[in-house]
Structure 1
Amino acid sequence: MAFLEFQGVRVTFGPYVALEGVNLRVAEGEFVSLVGPTGCGKSTLLNLAAGLLHPTSGTVLLQGKPLTGLNPLAGYLFQQDAILPWRTARDNVALPLVFRGRSWKEAREEAQLWLEKVGLGRFGHLFPYQLSGGMRKRVGLAQVLIARPRLLLMDEPFSALDVQTRQLMENELLRLWEEGLQGGEEDRKTVLFVTHDLTEAIALSDRVVVMAAGPRSRPIGEFRIPLPRPRDVAEVRLTPEFLRLEREIWGLLREEVMRAHAGTQA
């Protein structure tokens, strides 16, 4: 049984058919990346998995059961920062626990542990405006992970970062995800990751799914990534196997990017 599954999913926005005939299975503990041209419905699939959007037809299954409301097992990391500017880094990370009824004292203590896990143990007293972009992204990651989601939904979370900081965050994500796989059920994360960067998708993932250009987008190719773990995202990109995979996937993805571009010029 798949941990997350889309069965015959169709999504329309008025007369526009965003997704049609989407069938996709994600196993527990799997890291799956979605790639495709702008407007192909990648973020729409994340919103379906989060329960923020419901299919026009078809079904989204979570652990074999239809998802009918908000996904209680999901944590969502957006492209833009979702942390409160008037709260310290520590309080931002603590908020999910406070919302669940924990005292501020207990929540702050656990938040401090998560800040240490993401390398910000000395910066919990600072406000977001005092942090770099990479540090704010680490706060956001800790804020999501402190709630112990079983499903981690990530929508281009590192796209606004410079190349060096982005690679650091990618390695940090892989480290935390791989540690979780070695832990108990609550720590094990299934990841659905959206990116426009094919090299990022290959470096991080167990599987890369290519989406067709919209409208009526759907998965048109799935590629297993047999690169050994643990991985360093900078080093793995230099290996012959990585370059082979990049050429193979780009051969399919390029056609969809050109189709999408032609559609916008029509």
Structure 2
Amino acid sequence: MSTATCSVPLANSEPRVREALCFDNVTCTFAGNGKNAQTYTAISGGNLTIRDGEFVSIVGPTGCGKSTLLNLAAGLTRPSSGTLSVFGEKLANGLNRQAAYLFQVDALMPWKTAEENIAIGLIFHGTPREEALAVARDWLERVGLHGHGKKYPHQMSGGMRKRASLAQALALNPRIILMDEPFSALDIQTRHLMENELLQLWSFDRKSVMFVTHDLEEAISLSDRVIVLSAGPATRPIAEFDIDLERPREMSEIRMTQRFLQLHSQIWDVLRGEVLKSYAHNRI
């Protein structure tokens, strides 16, 4: 895989595609616990770019460091070496203010209603409460939760809570969306519905999306590119695949096409070897 470069427009030339996120030779090492514990290198020399407006999925064996990459992109974890840039600006300290993060488990506050949960981020950033609630109600409509704004999380199904979480993130109008297996806990029918809704919402203004998943079919169905990570420890991107399936896409239909099956076979040929390496390592 080629070395990452963070491009900038050149004088008297056509501007290059801007990178929303650029990992340049990033290494992330964690200290061990205990007196004689060894350090653990999760990411080693990672080079990766997410272009402006691009939907990119990250796949790899269990425990290879996919979530660590997301945490680095969010600014929750700092790299041990190398640099991470956000729209051309080095992210040195603190959170990535350009990004919203959707976790695997929803982060809704149980004591607040759906509309209050969606509005809370806006209020935290200084939006007057009534204005924030109006934005929240608009987003409830967009994600198919009209009429459910006064419900508390325990009164909503898993799919409804996931819709509210998605609205909570998008209401802040982030330029980058980081997603850590957001639909993995849903049943297959609800999952397909949520994937379709995500693509419909994304198509309006094409945020940059970094999507981590264990599901290769999901990765191909959603993405412009799929990045394969090596088995850990010291993981790194080892392959990338352009997903040239036409948009708009319908999840259940796109997976039946010949081109989808070809892409699945090509990516699985690479991913399978890393999964076997991870399995062998974990058995030792």
What's the TM-score bracket when you normalise by the shorter of the two chains? Answer: over 0.9
CA distance in 1 between partners of 2:218 and 2:62 (Å): 16
Displacement, 1:105? 1.3
Q: Which residue of 2 aligns with 1:131?
A: 156
Superposition RMSD on alpha carbons, in Å? 0.7
- 2:59 partner amino acid: V
Alignment of 1:61-100 (within 5 A): 61-68=85-92, 69-100=94-125
Q: Which residue of 2 aligns with 1:202?
A: 220
Displacement, 1:192? 0.2
Q: Which residue of 2 aligns with 1:40?
A: 64
Displacement, 1:42? 0.6
**SS in structure 2 at match of 1:250:** helix
Which of the numbers 153, 169, 180 marks the counterpart of 2:205?
Answer: 180
TM-score w.r.t. the length of structure 1 is 0.96
**SS in structure 2 at match of 1:7:** strand
- 2:199 partner amino acid: L
Stretches of structure 1 that go unaligned for 5 or more consecutive residues are: 182-188
TM-score w.r.t. the length of structure 2 is 0.90
Which of the numbers 29, 45, 50 marks the counterpart of 1:12?
Answer: 29
CA distance in 2 between partners of 1:146 and 1:116 (Å): 12
Q: Which residue of 2 aligns with 1:160?
A: 185
- 1:6 partner amino acid: F
Which of the numbers 43, 50, 54 marks the counterpart of 2:78?
Answer: 54
CA distance in 2 between partners of 1:26 and 1:136 (Å): 28
Displacement, 1:122? 1.0
**SS in structure 1 at match of 2:150:** coil
Alignment of 1:208-219 (within 5 A): 208-219=226-237
Displacement, 1:77? 0.2
**Larger radius of gyration between Structure 1 and Structure 2:** 2
Stretches of structure 2 that go unaligned for 5 or more consecutive residues are: 1-6, 8-18, 32-38
CA distance in 2 between partners of 1:78 and 1:180 (Å): 22
Deviation readout 1:104-131 (Å, 9 max, x if unpaired): 2111111000000000011001111110
Q: Alignment identity in percent?
A: 57
More helix by share: 1
Displacement, 1:60? 0.2
Is 2:47 the partner of 1:30? no
Is 2:172 the partner of 1:147? yes
Deviation readout 1:79-114 (Å, 9 max, x if unpaired): 001001111101011101111122221111110000
CA distance in 2 between partners of 1:152 and 1:103 (Å): 24
**Number of residue pairs aligned between Structure 1 and Structure 2:** 259
Q: Which residue of 2 aligns with 1:115?
A: 140
